[in-house]
């Protein structure tokens, strides 16, 4: 794993990837600090991070699009399979390299509240609690990006899908006000999600029977529940969109509350998507 980690870091710092990523993140947070802390004379640095979280929509997919997709395209993933390490160690090494790349500009950002506190009433526990949440939010989004990159050989496609997924999650709370809250509307959307899940299972396992069985079981259970108690689905879709929003949970920290359940949610997503990335590579390895 250490060899993979060093190799990835060497590639990032010998190219423009690390510098462009860090520059974009620092520039966007810097703009937020000028708008909020300096121009508007607002002492809450956490508002800057809330503003800066929008940059994840662009920089995370661009950062993660090549991490596995490029290996597949150039067929160098075959070399990874020949290493005396497990697929999990390969994914973990690549993921840790991305986290280190992310931590460097974040370490610079973590200094910002200190000079601001000399000129205003900055509540440092809230500021640094928000910085911690900002890091874990980015770590979860990077794990999602790694998984998307593991599904394709096309870096452009991986970046495009990543941008769409993160953008949808960013605006999911706002969009939840416009989606159907009726029971039938919720069931219709959930059916579509079940079919998407079936496609993902089929792609990861190459087992059509497993994908069909999972979809059939979920659809049967959903329809049974709908006919027994249709009111259980009323307002379900907007609530699910709010619950799954990573950025909405981050706003809890911005509002001055340390939400332990949000951290558990982020770490759960990291474990889930790294596990799915491992399974995606395992499928290709044995095929």
pLDDT tens profile 20-60: 888 889 988 888 888 877 777 777 788 888 888 888 988 89
Q: pLDDT for 239-285, tens place per residue?
A: 777 778 888 888 888 887 888 888 999 999 999 999 988 888 777 66
| pLDDT on residue 270 | 94
Q: pLDDT for 5-15, tens place per residue?
A: 887 788 888 88
- Domains of the chain, by residue range, sit at 2-176+244-286, 182-234
| pLDDT on residue 267 | 94
In this prediction, residue 230 has a pLDDT band, given cuts at 50, 70 and 90, of low
| pLDDT on residue 79 | 67
pTM, two decimal places: 0.86
Average pLDDT over residues 230-244: 74
Average pLDDT over residues 190-195: 80
In this prediction, residue 134 has a pLDDT band, given cuts at 50, 70 and 90, of very high
Cα(4)–Cα(6) distance, rounded to whole angstroms?
6
Cβ neighbours around 57 below 10 Å, total = 20
Average pLDDT over residues 119-127: 79
In this prediction, residue 172 has a pLDDT band, given cuts at 50, 70 and 90, of confident
Closest CA to 54 of 35, 34, 29, 37: 29
| pLDDT on residue 141 | 93
Q: pLDDT for 76-120, tens place per residue?
A: 666 666 667 778 888 888 899 999 999 999 999 999 888 877 777
Reduced DSSP (H G I as helix, E B as strand, rest coil) percent helix, strand, coil of the chain, to 5: 80, 0, 20
| pLDDT on residue 91 | 87
Buried b (16+ CB within 10 A) or exposed e, 151-169: bbbebeebbebbbebbeeb
Average pLDDT over residues 55-73: 82
| Token output for 250 | 């981050």
| pLDDT on residue 268 | 93
Q: Where are the alpha helices (DSSP H) in 110-182?
A: 113-117, 124-150, 155-170, 172-175
């Amino acid at each position: 794993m250490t060899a993979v980690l060093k190799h990835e870091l060497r590639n990032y710092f010998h190219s423009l990837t690390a510098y462009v990523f860090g520059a974009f993140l620092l520039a966007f947070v810097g703009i937020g600090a000028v708008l909020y802390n300096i121009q508007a004379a607002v002492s809450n640095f956490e508002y800057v991070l809330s503003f800066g979280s929008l940059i994840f929509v662009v920089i995370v997919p661009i950062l993660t699009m090549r991490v596995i997709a490029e290996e597949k395209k150039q067929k160098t993933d075959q070399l990874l399979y020949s290493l005396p390490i497990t697929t999990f160690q390969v994914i973990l090494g690549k993921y840790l390299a991305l986290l280190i790349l992310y931590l460097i500009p974040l370490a610079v950002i973590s200094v910002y509240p200190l000079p601001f506190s000399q000129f205003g009433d900055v509540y440092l526990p809230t500021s640094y609690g928000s910085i911690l949440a900002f890091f874990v939010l980015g770590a979860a989004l990077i794990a999602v990006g790694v998984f998307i990159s593991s599904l394709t050989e096309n870096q452009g496609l991986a970046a495009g899908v990543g941008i769409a997924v993160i953008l949808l999650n960013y605006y999911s709370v706002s969009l939840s006000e416009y989606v159907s809250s009726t029971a039938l509307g919720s069931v219709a959307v959930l059916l579509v999600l079940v079919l998407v899940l079936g496609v993902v299972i089929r792609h990861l396992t190459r087992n059509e029977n497993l994908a069909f069985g999972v979809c059939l079981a979920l659809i049967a259970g959903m329809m049974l529940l709908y006919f027994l108690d249709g009111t259980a689905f009323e307002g379900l879709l907007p609530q699910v969109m709010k619950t799954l929003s990573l950025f909405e949970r981050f706003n809890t920290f911005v509002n001055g509350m340390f939400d332990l359940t949000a951290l558990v949610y982020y770490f759960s997503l990291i474990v889930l998507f790294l596990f799915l990335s491992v399974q995606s590579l395992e499928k290709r390895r044995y095929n």
